[in-house]
A and B are shown apart, each in its own frame.
Chain A
Amino acid sequence: MSRLVVLGDSHALALAEGFAQLKARGEEAFPGEVRFLPIFDGPDNLAPFFRRDGDGIAFLGDRPAQGIIEALGAAMLSPEDRDTIYAFSMGLMITLLLRQGDWKRSTPSSLAPATHGKRHRNLVSELLVEAMALENQKHVIDFARAVRQVGLRAFIIAAPPMREDDRAIERGRPAAVLLEVNRICRRALVRSYSEAGLRVLEPPPETYQDGDVLGFMRSDLRRLVGRDSHHGNAAYGEIMMRHVLALASSMS
């Protein structure tokens, strides 16, 4: 009997909601228990948040440390638990990077022809943007390497597509610039996790407007709560969980 643990940041909430909808319809195709542990806030992963502990991985903060004890009955993630598959919802949450003031004036070089001559548009190289993403998610990349080294059965669930109503756009960053920065950052991070040995499950084309994976999230998949401008809703979670469950089933 396998167990799937979806562990990570606030995006795991939509996944849990989506799974609940699937389950209500009897469509939760997974041969085992599914647990959801949204034990991090996105910014938690921008600082050291784990440590290697013998053959396992323990979390540093009280909330995540308590969370896995309560949910899993163990203080750390251990490869000895061969029945558990971990789906980490973290590592591509670059919302804060996109909301930096940098993108008011800086533009990836790939947009040079479109922005040439426009005031205050400083061109930066693609590899600089990549380096910013890798530095931003440095601790999750280290975590992915540790997961691989200790031998956990795991994969990463990418954050949702960028939303057209994201606060970064509202604050004056050009949408085209943000989409391009987002594309470069995701590409670099997916490559980095792959090199670390973890597969990344990215949002499928059907979660994007017009199926364009270089564009924004479909507007009907947005979570519309308060001033939230970057989470997906239960419908988004349902789409993602179909893929999560399929991948996890193939690993079980």
Chain B
Amino acid sequence: MTSPYSALDPRHFWRTAVAAENPLAWRDIYRKRFPIEPDDRIATAGSCFAQHFAGQLSRRGFEFLDSEPGPPSLSPALRRAFGYGVFSARYGNIYTARQLLQLFQEAFGERRPAEPPWISEGRFHDPLRPAIEPEGFVSADELAALRQLAHLPAVRKVFLECNLFVFTLGLTEAWLSAEDGTVFPSCPGTIAGEFDASRHRFHNFGFKEVQADMVAFIDRLRDVNARAKVLLTVSPVPLAATATDNHVLEATTYSKSVLRAVAGSLHERFQHVDYFPSYELVTAPAARGMFFEPDLRNVTPVGVDQVMRHFFAEHPSPSVPASVDRPARRPIDDEWEEFRAVCEEARLDPSFNA
């Protein structure tokens, strides 16, 4: 007796491909849709988990596009603290599809956010990247100068010059300006500024909204850069907190489900869009949570390594031979601390600094 399943290879069966395998030995989970050429300029953006891509791409000899580099002599610590080289420009974490779309629109002069600077302890924070300067800007004029004269031209360059745009979808929950709908990466009053219920409102984006925003972004990106391909991932990092009435576990499942479904739909719809399953690699039940830190939220170095092994197995670089069999290496603690993702969303939890 035969069925359509009879001729399938083991990767199609849960028992043989997942349950019977050590998660560290999983293989053939991701198959690329298109290759990354050595001279492809790769841009990255997204939630905190996306930060791992930038560093790994550079270290493996890929052409990481950094359109807003800091002074060359900056130490790694200062470079990181001030958001240089974390992504392809100093936009900080972009958690939602709407935030990405709005950044694109602002960079090309199609919108101008109404939100004034957030002020904390006499310093001025950019509401659209509130943690990009650890202590804020010294004045509203400085904030405006660096955004208008340095940052937005750099963002425009990212979109115009990249061959591959890697975006990690992070959240569906967001705080918006009640005045013009501008989406903030963090809730006013957490990193900086003050929450004002008359000026700030909560929104949990649904599937159709996220999909529409991502389609609009992908179309606009193609409009300005016909060579640009897109690689989507979904962050495996659970929500630090939810502003819905739901339990944070349920809210996380909803958020990640929407994002994963949107990523799948975009992969189906666009031939120049690939999907890389970092979410699945880290969160699969067969991993039994082994890729999470004790807080069950942050991904361990082994987890990041696991994700990257699968990615680079399909996209080998000339400088590092690819092998999914290479044992996971745990960076020494000091080194890991240097590369730990900067997660603004974690600041939603009031105990963050406790």
A interface residues with partner B (beta carbon < 8 Å): 100-103, 105-106, 109-110, 112, 116, 122-128, 131-132, 135
Contacts and interface: CB of A to CB of B under 8 A. Distances in A.
Contacts of A101: 72-73
> Chain B interface: which size bin?
20 to 34
Nearest to B132: A125
Contact of B146 (A100, A125, A131, A135): A125
A106 B138 CA distance: 18
B73 A122 contact: no
B75 interface: yes
A109 B142 contact: yes
Given A101-B72, A102-B73, A131 B81 contact: yes
Contacts of A131: 78, 81-82
A127 B137 CA distance: 7
Chain B interface mostly: loop
Given A131-B81, A132-B73, 11 more contacts: A101-B72, A101-B73, A112-B149, A122-B68, A122-B150, A125-B137, A125-B138, A125-B146, A126-B142, A128-B78, A128-B82
Given A125-B137, A127-B138, A131-B81, A102 B71 contact: yes
B135 interface: yes
A109 B145 contact: yes
Contacts of A126: 138, 142
Contacts of B72: 100-102
A102 to B, nearest CB: 3
Nearest to A181: B71
Contacts of B150: 122-123
B116 interface: no
B74 interface: yes
Interface string B238-249: 000000000000
A116 B142 contact: no
B81 A100 contact: no
B144 to A, nearest CB: 9
Contact of A112 (B135, B138, B145): B145
A135 B137 CA distance: 19
Of the listed residues B69, B73, B77, the one surrounded by the most CB atoms of chain A closer than 10 A to its CB is B73
A110 B71 contact: no
A125 B142 contact: yes
B71 A109 contact: no
A126 B142 CA distance: 9
A99 to B, nearest CB: 10
A184 B73 CA distance: 17
B135 A132 contact: no
Contacts of B75: 135
B142 A100 contact: no
Contacts of A124: 70-71
A125 B133 contact: yes
A116 B73 contact: no
